[in-house]
Amino acid sequence: MTYPVFDSNGIAAHTAGGPVTCTSCGCRLERSSSDGVSAWYHFAPMGGRDARGCKVGCANDAHDARGRALVATA
């Protein structure tokens, strides 16, 4: 039995490498771009907490494409 061939046309280049995760806590980040500048943010941040409900210092900060926070957290 052979596996089916999947059509990979139309897959965005930024998602082809997999999700971007935070280097500090390992949470998944979502891309947000405005004015041609891309930044990644925690998935569903809730008042300093990540999507799992854990308190992380960088939950509301912008991150770069490697998952590092761009703003120094307290």
Return d(Cα 54, Cα 61) in angstroms, integer. Answer: 15
Determine, yes or no, domain membership for 48: yes
Kindly report the average pLDDT of the chain as a whole number.
76
Determine, yes or no, domain membership for 14: no
Task: Write down the pLDDT at residue 33.
Answer: 78
Determine, yes or no, domain membership for 30: yes
Instruction: State pTM to two decimals.
Output: 0.63
Mean pLDDT of 9-28: 72
Q: Give me the number of domains the chain comprises.
A: 1
Determine, yes or no, domain membership for 13: no
Give 4's contacts (C-beta < 8 A, 6+ positions apart).
Answer: none
Q: Which domain holds residue 68?
A: 19-74
Determine, yes or no, domain membership for 67: yes
Q: Which residue has the higher pLDDT, 64 or 46?
A: 64
Which band of pLDDT confidence, cut at 50, 70 and 90, is reported for residue 70? confident
Determine, yes or no, domain membership for 39: yes
Determine, yes or no, domain membership for 69: yes
